Amino acid sequence: MPRDYYTGAEAARALGISLDTLRRWDKSGKLRAQRDDANRRIVAVSEVERLRVTRSEHLSARNKLVGVVRSVEVEGLLAQVVIDVAGPTSFVAIVTRDAVSDLGLEPGDAASAVVKATSVMLER
């Protein structure tokens, strides 16, 4: 049975923020949290999803390319993810095994490659 709420710590982890930030967002109204019977902060799954979308739409990176995951190869602590974007172009990302697991990436899934670099080197 799917769950309806996260604990404060689970919600913070899902959003990639600290628990202190989650508390501040609750106090400022940026996040809508509730309290359980023991007066602990709980956050609706739908609220976490709303904030995930908001956060991803406000990246400082300008090079966000949407595509489809072609392959995911996990070996040891690392994983190689290949994302096909427009035309014959694909991006290869080396990320941690945990990142692939957290994102639930599998071939055929929609995904984005966000490129943020301070320098690009070319060779001929």
Backbone angles phi and psi of 53, in degrees to 5: -65, -45
Q: Which domains does the chain have, with CATH numbers?
A: 5-57 (1.10.1660.10), 63-115 (2.40.50.100)
pLDDT tens for the chain, residues 1 to 124: 567 889 998 888 888 788 888 898 899 888 999 999 999 999 998 888 887 765 555 566 567 777 788 999 999 999 999 988 776 788 888 999 988 988 888 888 878 888 777 666 667 6
Sign for the pseudo-dihedral over CA of 32, 36, 39, 45: negative
List CB contacts of 66: < 8 A, sequence separation 6 or more.
85, 110, 111, 112
pTM: 0.49
Predicted local confidence at residue 81, as pLDDT:
93
Distance CA 56, CA 73 (A): 25
Predicted local confidence at residue 106, as pLDDT:
87
